[in-house]
Structure 1
Amino acid sequence: MKILHLISGGETGGSRKHVVTLLSKFPKEQVCLAVFQEGALSQEAREAGIKVEIFEQKSRYDLTVLRRLANFINKEGFDILHTHGPRANFLTTFLVGKIKALWVTTIHSDPKLDFMKGGLKGRIFTKLNLWSYEKIDYFFAVSERFKNNLMDIGINEEKIQTIYNGIDFTEPVPVENALKTEFVISEDDFVMAFVARLHPVKGHDLVLKALKNLGNPKVKVLLVGSGPSYDEVEHLIKEFKLGAQVKMLGFRKDVSQILSISDVSLLASESESFPLVLLESANQEVPVITTDVGGVKELVKPEHGWIVPVGDQGGYERAMNQAIDEWQKGKLVDKGKALRKHAEENFSLKNLVSLTTETYKKLLKVKK
């Protein structure tokens, strides 16, 4: 069984982590990663010992790479082409009938929201993305909610398998005091880590408005991530006069270390699948405040943190205040330990790899 994973290559968020961690657990001769551009993903994949092929495009709309990609798939004898994301899905539609491999995709996000606030271009890309779904042989959904989303747009339930994300749980890294010094964080500061791509769907405006309304200068937020909304987020920080409380850190490889100095981890998205950052927070025994997206209710129970309805400004502020109150009383650490225990028992990388492998084998058996 040989599998080729195809993804844009420019990803810096959860889908990047998902692909690298998943492929790193397969035999090296069994899997290969194909991308359309060099970036953090291809670099990390190589460092993990994963074979990487680059099919560089002159632009996002360059279709000349398709012939070379099709030839590569057929020559190498891949049994399964596993795509991730709208760009890979759209381009693969042109390979249908030209490759022998079975086409599988993982749905990491709500396809109706992938291009939100993109205007006319966003609406066109959304339609093209949904059009590509008609050609796909099988779907992996990373939450039951996303499985239901697929069924709502007409995908047969028999063509969908829910496979939750997972990570290798390790000992929490020790507190990085050097980072506290770098970010000017004192012992009496309450620190919230917000690890998310800078994109409208991630809800940075909700968090910043909540922080402004708290009016507590001892509350600090570490924003980790890059993306198209950088200027908008920076503008809000200036408008709300939060420069002393919010650090924009950009893309970082030391997320675990940043979580180690944080008291709570934030997620404020309007749509998500099963966010890996919540599992990374669990690994560090950091409780979470999250909006009710994707499969978070499977992971976060009341004893692990707070779940707030999407877009509920008041609810998010109340959750922040409750977290601060529990921190001051010395109770917040218990939530983090309980989250770690629950996550480690139910959302391991071992489970992800096992179910993925079983599904691949089932699909190939049916194909024969």
Structure 2
Amino acid sequence: MKVLHVITGLGIGGAEQQLRLLLRHLPVRSSVVTLTNPGAVAAGIEADGTPVTHLGMTGNRDLGALPRLARFVRQGRYDLVHTHLYRACVYGRTAARLAGVRRVIATEHSLGETQIEGRPLSAGTRALYLASERLGTSTVAVSPSVARRLAEWGVPPERIRIVPNGIETDRFAFDAGARRRTRQALGLPEDAHVVGGVGRLTPGKRFDRLVRAVASIPDARLLLVGEGEHRAELLRVAGECGAADRVLLAGACEDPPAAASAGPALPELLAAMDVFVSTSPDETFGLAVVEALAAGLPVLYVACPAVDDLAPEAAPGARRIGESVPELISALRGIRDARLARLPLPAAARRYDIARSAEQLMTLYDQAVHGTPLPAK
């Protein structure tokens, strides 16, 4: 089977890195087209052995990209096109139809309650999405919560399939040696109480509240992994709170790394933390929470469909909290006072292993291309 993946961009981000992980586990011949930004994840995908083509799209209204993409699809003689992220779904579905490929699967990675890919939802966004959705075979939701939102938007429920995001679970197993080395590399004292977070540094992630909460806990330190336009603001808030020397912004972290890197990989950064916090109030899955659970960390989160869609015993180390600063402070103090050791691997981490997600996706591929019956929902 020959599959073309079309994605909006390949800078470091959750959907982008999820595509790379899937490609490492899907038993098909794959190629990738990125509409824009062939960044670090593109290099990682190519290092893994999958070719990446940059379409050179200049913006949302670059209609000239459509015939270029259709020509690429036609020349590649692909059995199936799989699109990822809003712009790629709109253009990719249309281009596939123009090229004569009628088997198109789209994964919806980033549809929140009030935003899509960090942007506010609008009537125009919804109308364009639904118009192009009809050109595809099916739409994949990364969680039951996203499936519900798609149905509420107007996507026919019989066209929606759930294939959750995944992680390479075993890579995140706690390593005491990695903890020591990473703390030393980052200048974190061995006995420091380190609060951690992972994600793009954008206002929607609400990391400023986490900075304020950690600043209120004497001797606690904050390690944030990610990059974004809110970086300077977070440093300003840390200085305003008198905690500039206790807040460390480690920058973006491609995972898995494309090659040998001078900096620690994500599993090593998680090993350096004592508790993980997700302050975002609007998530489509919550992959960073699952990674933290796989690393044995106690987790505090405001919103995480990956956990909330499961029974409580699947992730006993995760606790849902309110999003205000006083509630964050109270929860963090409780974790510190308990001085929890590393937790055993929860069932949630195994459930969301990427090999299992790839297997579910292959079932959809086989059904679309060969007409293989799907298992009952």
Which interval holds the TM-score relative to the shorter structure? Answer: 0.7 to 0.9
What's the offset of the Cα at 1:96?
6.1
Residue of structure 2 aligned with 1:296, choices 303, 307, 329 = 307
Give percent identity, aligned residues only: 22
Superposed, 1:169-188 pairs within 5 Å as 169-170=169-170, 171-173=173-175, 174-188=177-191
Distance 1:93 1:127, change over 3 A: farther
Match of 2:219 in 1: 218
Residue of structure 2 aligned with 1:205, choices 201, 204, 208:
208
Task: Please tell me the residue identity of whatever aligns with 1:34.
Answer: V
**C-alpha distance in 2 between matches for 1:263 and 1:316:** 15
Give the secondary-structure state (helix, strand or coil) at the position aligned to 1:269: coil
Q: Is the 8 A contact 2:225 2:249 kept in 1?
A: yes
Instruction: Give the structure 2 partner of residue 66 of structure 1.
Output: 66
Stretch moving more, 268-277 or 88-97: 88-97
Question: Which stretch of the first structure deviates more once superposed, 156-165 or 63-72?
Answer: 63-72
Aligned twin of 2:115: 113
Distance apart, 1:363 and its partner CA: 2.6
Which amino acid letter does the alignment assign opposite residue 224 of structure 1? Answer: V
Give the equivalent residue in structure 2 for 1:321: 333
The 2-side partners of 1:8 and 1:180 are apart by 35
Distance apart, 1:298 and its partner CA: 4.0
Q: Distance in 1 between matches of 2:116 and 2:207?
A: 16
Runs of 5+ in structure 2 lacking a partner? 255-264
Report the secondary structure of 2:70's partner residue. helix
Deviations 1:148-188 (A, max 9, x none): 11111111111111111222222434334343234332233
Check conservation: 1:113, 1:201, Cα contact below 8 A.
no
TM-aligned CA deviation for residue 196 of structure 1: 0.4
Give 2:44's aligned amino acid: E
Contact 1:217/1:245 (8 A) holds in 2: no
Matches within 5 A, 1:190-339: 190-212=193-215, 215-253=216-254, 254-298=265-309, 301=313, 303-309=316-322, 311-327=323-339, 332-334=340-342, 336-337=343-344
Structure 1 367/164 Cα, relative in aligned 2: closer, same or farther at 3 Å?
A: closer
Contact 1:74/1:99, CA 8 A, preserved across alignment: yes
After superposition, the C-alpha distances for 1:52-77 in whole angstroms (9 at most, x for unaligned) are 12212344543323222111111212
CA distance in 2, matches of 1:293, 1:305: 10
TM-score if structure 2 supplies the norm length?
0.85
Q: Secondary structure at the match of 1:12?
A: coil
Aligned residues of 2:169 and 2:349 also touching (Cα < 8 A): yes
- The alpha carbon displacement at 1:93 in A equals 5.6
CA distance, structure 1, for counterparts of residue 280 and residue 332 of structure 2 = 16
In the aligned structure 2, how far is the partner of 1:78 from the partner of 1:93?
A: 13
The aligned runs of 1:105-184 (5 Å cut-off) are 105-110=106-111, 112-114=114-116, 127-128=124-125, 130-136=127-133, 137=136, 138-170=138-170, 171-173=173-175, 174-184=177-187
Structure 2 vs 1, CA of residues 178 and 351 (structure 1 numbering), >3 Å: closer, same or farther?
Answer: closer
Q: Secondary structure at the match of 2:248?
A: strand
Per-residue deviation, 1:358: 0.4
SS at match of 1:68: helix
1:68-106 Cα distance to aligned partner (Å, 9 max, x none): 211111121222221111221233365264122322221
The 3 A distance-change label for structure 1 pair 105 and 348 is same
Q: 1:169 to 1:290 in 2, by over 3 A?
A: same
Equivalences for residues 32-71 of structure 1 within 5 A: 32-36=31-35, 37-59=37-59, 61-71=61-71
Q: Secondary structure of the residue that 1:104 maps to in structure 2?
A: strand
2:34 is equivalent to residue 31 of structure 1: no
TM-score (norm 1): 0.86
Asked if 1 retains the 8 angstrom alpha-carbon contact of 2:111 and 2:284, the reply is yes
CA RMSD of aligned residues (A): 2.5
Alpha-carbon distance between aligned partners in 1 of 2:368 and 2:94, rounded to the nearest angstrom: 22
Letter in 2 for 1:305: A
Note if contact 2:217-2:329 (Cα within 8 Å) is conserved in structure 1.
no
Which residue is 2:262 aligned to? Answer: none
User: How far apart are the structure 2 equivalents of 1:209 and 1:163?
Assistant: 36
Structure 1 letter corresponding to 2:195: M
Is the contact made by 1:83 and 1:104 (CA closer than 8 Å) also made in structure 2? yes
Number of residues of Structure 1 aligned to a counterpart in Structure 2: 352
Deviation at 1:282, TM superposition (A): 2.6
| Shift of residue 367, structure 1, vs aligned partner | 10
3-state DSSP of counterpart to 1:295? helix
Return the alpha-carbon distance in structure 2 between the equivalents of residues 139 and 343 of structure 1: 24
Please point out which of 348, 356, 360 is paired with 2:361.
356
Structure 2: distance between partners of 1:10 and 1:42:
5
Give the residue type in structure 1 aligned to 2:125: L
